Amino acid sequence: MVETNLRKIVDEYSDIVKLIEKLEISEEEQISKLKAKLRLFDGTILWVREVWLKEKIEAYSYYWLRPDETVIIGWDNAPHHREVISFPHHMHVGEKIEPSSQRDLKEVLGYIKDFLGLG
């Protein structure tokens, strides 16, 4: 299920996602874990990590990196920035922590597409 969902989203965003470069999936009885490295059309990379409980994302991190592997923007829901209005969901933009409404891969890819002026 997790891999099917990933491939469906990658197909939907095939104009910006060129390749699933790395893919690791582990599925147990109730928990599924996904790690993927997506190569985007411009040479940037999106690292994807999701932990699913039953059919719901419980934990995630998405880190968009330049070719030199410096962070452009990172999204996650680790509960360590209580000051953010969207706690625990937040974005790492440079040194700043900002609220985030992007909470899954599809929303993050949509944000990246809009950010690049391609939306």
User: Cβ(77)–Cβ(103) under 8 Å?
Assistant: yes
Q: Which of 8, 13, 25 is nearest to 108 (CA)?
A: 13
Residue 88 sits in which domain range? 2-115
Contact of 59 with 77, CB cutoff 8 Å: yes
Structural domain count, the chain: 1
**Per residue in 18-58, pLDDT tens?**
999 999 999 988 999 999 999 999 999 999 999 999 889 99
Q: How confident is the model at residue 72 (pLDDT cuts 50, 70, 90)?
A: very high
